[in-house]
Structure 1
């Protein structure tokens, strides 16, 4: 940490290199289309006045960064104002107005779009310890009929207090914090920085809208990755062009610290800006999905998931969030799909078994064992479930024995299932013991 502090402090002089001050009409780099900004005369006046008596490096001008000053000192701020009809991928920002009420399922309280603060950090490292410093804090919110993205950046440690004071001044206006893994990363990092700078950890107690967890619940096995950049491309229709990966952000920041040239940070600002827009689109997506059946019929706004496993996972998440009617729509699709993967069938069958819906669970297990690609441990699990059902629920030991025998034959006939590790030996022994027990039960029944 001391090395980082030293490097940052050395730049206090270089960051004031010769250049022109940036006015309110500075160029703003924005994705996909030109972003309109309010005229200076109509911009809302903040409590912290901006004074540009310090001359900024000319490299900040094309990025659209301004010097921001408050009672704690100075930091840099970039602000981009999007009209609400701006389209990012498949969604327009004005959809948040209709979708926000669906987000009430997260906490059981009404959600208004203007109550939501979006947050995304770019930090010097990983983890939430004291050595991880957020050098850029991105926030976004709806206000004055616009979607406003603000990105605060520190050029050296002395600017952190001023940046935190600015962020702190924003917090009381919002009830909800929308993030992607912010509950366990972004917000704890911010809390630690507040403490390290003599501010209270309990400075603000938001209700979290963390979209990483529903994303994992729904797309865990359907998508190759649940990183935000991958989810947005595969499910939100967002394609990043020449994007700087978030993993490179610390390296580019250290390059800026070493050289004093802001140009490498342009891509980091752009990456963070798109993250904020994508967070808003995820809020729209999950808000639409969580509208109650009375508010929105039969997925009228969103397309139905096309893959059976995603249908099951979406249904399970909706059921967890209290929308059992919407979940049943998806479960019915899986049962009626000829090509549903065994994993999807077993997942739904496990749900039905737990809920006591034995009729559909049995249909799903039978569908699994009749699957044209029946092999592996998943197929064996379906046979075993049927064997247990017939043994314990129907006392039909002959049918239970038949399913157990087929499971054992499948296990013995597949070389991949005969690995000589302890777990596989125990599974085979379990099947043999089950078969012997059922043979005895069936023999007594017919003896």
Structure 2
């Protein structure tokens, strides 16, 4: 406001000085009259300054006032050099429990989160850039996660794409500081406030080394990054270590949960139940209605939904941090069912190595009630790793189960046949297994019309049998 006042004063000063100078040069007035008019102009200017100050102050006060409906939401105006936007801050004590986890567990669990070491920068094209990126990644990988340097992010946007037309009207941030977990929620009342919100984020984000999101690698962060560019913040650089918790959730629960949406994962695995929650899919419609009628009350549900998302995201990070910190069985219960046991072991092996997953695999092979698909998946893993004894044991379990199945498969028969043909050179055993596989295929397809794929399967089994019989004939001859 002060800059506007100064510009108006300068303009007014130029407009009043010019006529006086013109009058003197033309000789139209005496010097005494000029002095008298100058005094009148000075008094007029002082009065005008006073009125201008009062008007600007009144406008400033009016801009800072919010209706009672806004105060019910707990928001306040955040003023920046780029303008204003609304900010809502909620503080949770660290002993607060959200489902089965307490927020204070984040201090212990972040040690395991250091296994997430994939940065957000794009892959370089040339070899020298690749080498520099590899050195940078190695330096980053040595950086431990500090609980107060990890930032949780979740956006509420006007659409689902990552293009220029998708605007984040609400940005939720979560972080630990001074013995509390703070949730900050920024809201723009109209598109003109977006630049002010982004300016605030420019100062905020760079204080953190890690970014935790849920599907943020393909949605939240690209959307926010595009808005920085479109609003002129091209010099803004922030390359945190991105921890996208959607990917481990899918790795562990994709075959055991109906959906891997955050609201479903938190209910099924984190013990969190939402009451009267506004689905995130309705948030854009609620915001557009607010833009139309100016009533902020329905936005309360959007604020609450985003707030719970932030706290749930922290608890999900705690869950995976405990898994990666050898807390399985102590800090985190053992997986429910053999499928989740397998997927958890495969994910732990990918993140930290085989030694972390072996105890889970041992529990799995001792479970005689596991379905054949689980045994086959673990056997495939052992085959790639060269653990042939256990792979053979698992294939034999599946072969035995297939003989009594009403709808049998023959994948394990083929794997064992290839093992005996190429590893042990026991061609008789390989031929016997191939013949059993053909018999199972014919039994399964009995009475069915064979399409091209099924005919190819049966033909492949017959060719394998013919090849093995030829090998055995050559050896006997």
The two structures have a TM-score, normalised by structure 1, of 0.84
- Pairing 1:61–2:71 present: yes
- Pairing 1:78–2:95 present: no
**Against the structure 1 CA distance between its residues 261 and 415, is the aligned structure 2 distance closer, same or farther, given a 3 Å change threshold?**
farther
Query: What SS does the corresponding residue of 1:441 show, helix, strand or coil?
Result: helix
**Against the structure 1 CA distance between its residues 327 and 131, is the aligned structure 2 distance closer, same or farther, given a 3 Å change threshold?**
same
**Against the structure 1 CA distance between its residues 201 and 133, is the aligned structure 2 distance closer, same or farther, given a 3 Å change threshold?**
farther
Out of 374, 377, 384, the residue aligned to residue 344 of structure 1 is 374
Aligned to 1:126: 160
- 8 Å contact from structure 2 (residues 202, 236) kept in 1: no
- 8 Å contact from structure 1 (residues 376, 417) kept in 2: no
Question: Which structure has the larger Rg over C-alpha atoms?
Answer: 2
In 2, the alpha carbon distance for the partners of 1:431 and 1:165 equals: 66
In 1, the alpha carbon distance for the partners of 2:431 and 2:170 equals: 64
Aligned to 2:112: 102
Deviations 1:16-67 (A, max 9, x none): xxxxxxxxxxxxxxxxxxxxxxxxxxxxxxxxxx988532233222221212
> How far has the Cα of 1:113 moved from its partner?
0.6
Query: What SS does the corresponding residue of 1:263 show, helix, strand or coil?
Result: coil
**Against the structure 1 CA distance between its residues 392 and 375, is the aligned structure 2 distance closer, same or farther, given a 3 Å change threshold?**
farther
Aligned to 2:40: none
**Against the structure 1 CA distance between its residues 285 and 242, is the aligned structure 2 distance closer, same or farther, given a 3 Å change threshold?**
same
Deviations 1:382-431 (A, max 9, x none): 11111111111111112112211222222222249956433222222111
Structure 1 unmatched runs, 5+: 1-49
Query: What SS does the corresponding residue of 1:203 show, helix, strand or coil?
Result: coil
> How far has the Cα of 1:300 moved from its partner?
2.0
- 8 Å contact from structure 1 (residues 51, 69) kept in 2: no
Aligned to 1:427: 457
Aligned to 1:6: none
Query: What SS does the corresponding residue of 2:206 show, helix, strand or coil?
Result: helix
Structure 2 unmatched runs, 5+: 1-59, 118-140
Query: What SS does the corresponding residue of 2:114 show, helix, strand or coil?
Result: helix
Deviations 1:126-162 (A, max 9, x none): 1211111101000010011100001101111110001
Aligned to 2:189: 155
The two structures have a TM-score, normalised by structure 2, of 0.79
> How far has the Cα of 1:445 moved from its partner?
3.7
Aligned to 1:384: 414
In 1, the alpha carbon distance for the partners of 2:302 and 2:109 equals: 29
- Pairing 1:444–2:474 present: yes
**Against the structure 1 CA distance between its residues 60 and 371, is the aligned structure 2 distance closer, same or farther, given a 3 Å change threshold?**
farther
Aligned to 1:240: 274
Aligned to 1:179: 213
**Against the structure 1 CA distance between its residues 411 and 176, is the aligned structure 2 distance closer, same or farther, given a 3 Å change threshold?**
same
